[in-house]
Structure 1
Amino acid sequence: DNEEKILQHGGRHERYKIRVFCRIRPVNRNEAAQGGVIVVDKIDEFSVTIDTPRGQREFQFDKVFSAGASQEDLFHDTNLIQSTIDGYNVCIFAYGQTGSGKTFTMVGDKEQKNPGLMPRSFNAIFDIIRENSSKFDFKVSAYMLELYNDRLQDLFVSQAGEAHAQTQSHGQARRVEIKRNRKGVVFAQGAETKEASSAQELYALFQQACANRHISATMNVESSRSHLIVGIRVESKNLTNGSVSTGKLSLVDLAGSERAAKTGAKDHQLKQVMQDSLGGNAKTLMIVNISPSECNLDETLTSLYATRVKAITNNAQRNVESKEIAQLKEVIMKLKSGQSVEDVDV
């Protein structure tokens, strides 16, 4: 049911649907020690089978990556960084049970010998910017958030620093809230954004954000309770005609899917965060990470069923505006700076 929609793209029609990849991780040490039976099998580029007590089930994907696939293979096939620079909203998120390899897929290993999609995306953005620097002016900025117990934490603000600021001012911590503007674009109000002029700077910001997470001490046990959301805005100004386009890349390392299932509807914040990625105008890629072993059979089935998201179709539009509109908006912003963000028709 890979339903597709045709959409306008600068007068050109483009088909776009939510793509879903499946990545099977290698058997881990614990499973191997228990003589873990492998129940998941990649049968071709697009299909996996899983042996269940009620017989074999087959699931279809846009692409299947077996345990032998490299980080480079996966990144190469995501193929969405150019779209961000072209002015689209793009979202790549990893889904699956705790320990299924989501963080490896998105971040990579601790030593960064095998960097994941996040650091690779940082590099790719600045590679493309370098190639186009004679024709465009670029500005890259980022915000990084953690959603923990249904509360959004700005990861550019350390909790210790935040606590100190509160005692100084006897004030409330700045709350980050997910808002929609009149165009339906979802943004994180109150989140600090920082500019980066190189992939190294962007990665340094990412490391700073990770150090401020609730989970930095025990990477795996705790990470299952916290979603990591990295938002990167790329603004490009065409030096020939002055038109400006803004793309946004959201990279999300979701909490363990078993938590999502058990907490039920509590994660309404997450739904909002994902809204401009899943609904409306984004090009979205979901990477379902699964364990191949029998001991994880139930969780793996739950994750595989989630791929029904493929039926959702998005209308991806470029966020482009002319120089005049951009200037007008600046004036409006200045006039209305006394009012809340929702009143400004950004």
Structure 2
Amino acid sequence: MVEDMKGKIRVFCRIRPVNRTEAAQGGAIVVDKIDEFSVTIETPRGQREFQFDKVFSAEASQEDLFHDTNRLIQSAIDGYNVCIFAYGQTGSGKTFTMVGDKEQKNPGIMPRSFNAIFEIIRENSAKFEFKVSAYMLELYNDRLQDLFVSQAGEAHAQTQSHGQARRVEIKRNRKGVVFAQGAETKEASSAQELYALFQQACANRHISATKMNVESSRSHLIVGIRVESKNLTNGSVSTGKLSLVDLAGSERAAKTGAKDHQLKEANSINKSLSALGDVISALSAELPHVPYRNSKLTQVMQDSLGGNAKTLMIVNISPSEFNLDETLTSLIYATRVKAITNNAQRNVESKEIAQLKEVIMKLRSGQSVEDEDV
């Protein structure tokens, strides 16, 4: 029932544990979870309180977080556009939340979602026929890259063909659903297959060390999973899309020690996050014009933030005084997101429309069409 409430982008806040650097500095803890929905932060101007749909303390496990996210996976299988994205400064724990740790002893929302998708499919296999496909992209220095194609492999292919690298462009279909034109979409028939594709994508992603983080994500990671389900009783077809986004960290260059190409990366990251902030401000204020076109990031997330999507933002914050300014900024940003209203709708087609589409596909590919197809 909560998932079907009209027009609510849900926002979770996750406080990460104090890290070794912060412990060594001996700074004060300025963030506190008051109850399930409230968090306070001590600022030079006094205490400020923020309310969210759920607040997770530093003690909360990956299982705890996913338990409250799980129902959205069902919505994607039911034919909704669903987006789960993590936001926060560099080193606030976004990649841990979305991907998990390196050894996968504590898998994040992405790998857990893969298991949940195929668990739901298994439970419903007697009534529905399912098809799962995925694309995985990286937005790096304002360029979209297909993570199913390694950059070395792409460069080699370019040299061989003396041509341009394959361009990945963001397009929207007539229903407003975003898709990545030029990116490879791969089918998966099990959680293991989907996870193997995901590992391949992660291996091609840009990361590097900064003063704030040993392995800082230098790009936005966008995983799009399309689930098509055919009702075996009435022939209707629904198509849902689950977008899982691990945003790169917002940061101040002086604090992270970014130089040269890292500084270029940081500027590109901050520019795209600023564009996302402008879109969020326009949506929360219900302005007639929403500036989606200002950044590739906001174009990719257009069907997740505005319109008919079910969206969950997880704002990740540090509890330490050292990160007070960034934490406060993240909490204010997340409060704006909470003010956005959407009208979630399912993408369902009747049996007749599904059949007509099949006929058109056959005609286009030169196959013969039988009487029973029409």
- With the length of structure 1 as denominator, give the TM-score of the two structures: 0.87
* CA deviations over 1:152-173 (Å, ceiling 9, x no partner): 0000011111111111211211
| Segment drifting more, 309-318 vs 181-190 | 181-190
Paired residues of 2:169 and 2:182 also in contact (CA < 8 A): yes
Calculate the aligned-residue CA RMSD, in Å.
5.3
* CA deviations over 1:129-155 (Å, ceiling 9, x no partner): 000111111111100000001100000
Q: Note closer, same or farther for the CA distance 1:32–1:267 as it changes in structure 2 (3 Å cut).
A: closer
Alignment of 1:193-208 (within 5 A): 193-208=185-200
Q: 2:153 maps to what in 1?
A: 161
Q: Note closer, same or farther for the CA distance 1:26–1:269 as it changes in structure 2 (3 Å cut).
A: closer
> What's the CA shift for 1:184?
1.8
Q: Secondary structure at the match of 2:132?
A: strand
Q: Secondary structure at the match of 2:254?
A: helix
Q: Note closer, same or farther for the CA distance 1:191–1:237 as it changes in structure 2 (3 Å cut).
A: same
> What's the CA shift for 1:332?
4.2
Task: Structure 1 unaligned segments of length 5 or more: list them.
Answer: 1-14
Q: 1:232 maps to what in 2?
A: 225
Q: Secondary structure at the match of 2:343?
A: coil
> What's the CA shift for 1:16?
3.9
2: CA distance, partners of 1:261 / 1:342: 68
| Segment drifting more, 258-267 vs 39-48 | 258-267
How many residue pairs get aligned? The number is 332
Paired residues of 2:91 and 2:216 also in contact (CA < 8 A): no
> What's the CA shift for 1:220?
4.6
Q: Note closer, same or farther for the CA distance 1:99–1:344 as it changes in structure 2 (3 Å cut).
A: farther
Alignment of 1:45-64 (within 5 A): 45-64=36-55
| Segment drifting more, 334-343 vs 128-137 | 334-343
Q: Secondary structure at the match of 2:258?
A: helix
1: CA distance, partners of 2:319 / 2:359: 56
Paired residues of 1:237 and 1:245 also in contact (CA < 8 A): yes
Q: Note closer, same or farther for the CA distance 1:268–1:162 as it changes in structure 2 (3 Å cut).
A: closer
Q: Secondary structure at the match of 1:280?
A: coil
Q: Note closer, same or farther for the CA distance 1:344–1:70 as it changes in structure 2 (3 Å cut).
A: farther
2: CA distance, partners of 1:277 / 1:32: 37
Q: 2:24 maps to what in 1?
A: 33
Q: Note closer, same or farther for the CA distance 1:94–1:338 as it changes in structure 2 (3 Å cut).
A: farther
> What's the CA shift for 1:262?
13
Q: Note closer, same or farther for the CA distance 1:213–1:47 as it changes in structure 2 (3 Å cut).
A: same
> What's the CA shift for 1:289?
0.1
1: CA distance, partners of 2:369 / 2:306: 22
1: CA distance, partners of 2:114 / 2:31: 32
Paired residues of 1:224 and 1:259 also in contact (CA < 8 A): no
* CA deviations over 1:88-107 (Å, ceiling 9, x no partner): 01000000001000000001
Residue 184 of structure 1 pairs with residue 176 of structure 2: yes
Q: 1:303 maps to what in 2?
A: 330
Q: Secondary structure at the match of 1:183?
A: coil
* CA deviations over 1:301-330 (Å, ceiling 9, x no partner): 110033211111111110100122123234
Alignment of 1:9-20 (within 5 A): 15-20=6-11
1: CA distance, partners of 2:226 / 2:60: 29
Task: Structure 2 unaligned segments of length 5 or more: list them.
Answer: 1-5, 266-299
Paired residues of 1:225 and 1:259 also in contact (CA < 8 A): no
Q: Note closer, same or farther for the CA distance 1:112–1:318 as it changes in structure 2 (3 Å cut).
A: same
* CA deviations over 1:255-308 (Å, ceiling 9, x no partner): 112379999999999999110000111100000000000000000011003321
Q: Secondary structure at the match of 1:251?
A: strand
| Segment drifting more, 220-229 vs 202-211 | 220-229
Q: Secondary structure at the match of 1:216?
A: strand
Q: Note closer, same or farther for the CA distance 1:118–1:250 as it changes in structure 2 (3 Å cut).
A: same
> What's the CA shift for 1:188?
1.0
| Segment drifting more, 198-207 vs 325-334 | 325-334
Q: Note closer, same or farther for the CA distance 1:150–1:43 as it changes in structure 2 (3 Å cut).
A: same
2: CA distance, partners of 1:144 / 1:168: 25
* CA deviations over 1:222-279 (Å, ceiling 9, x no partner): 6443000000011111111111111100000001123799999999999991100001
Q: Secondary structure at the match of 1:340?
A: coil
Paired residues of 1:95 and 1:287 also in contact (CA < 8 A): yes
2: CA distance, partners of 1:230 / 1:330: 27
Q: Secondary structure at the match of 1:16?
A: coil
Identity of matched residues, %: 95
Q: Note closer, same or farther for the CA distance 1:259–1:193 as it changes in structure 2 (3 Å cut).
A: farther
Alignment of 1:71-82 (within 5 A): 71-79=62-70, 80-82=72-74
1: CA distance, partners of 2:181 / 2:262: 13
Q: Note closer, same or farther for the CA distance 1:293–1:262 as it changes in structure 2 (3 Å cut).
A: closer
Alignment of 1:38-187 (within 5 A): 38-79=29-70, 80-187=72-179
1: CA distance, partners of 2:308 / 2:262: 19
2: CA distance, partners of 1:336 / 1:267: 50
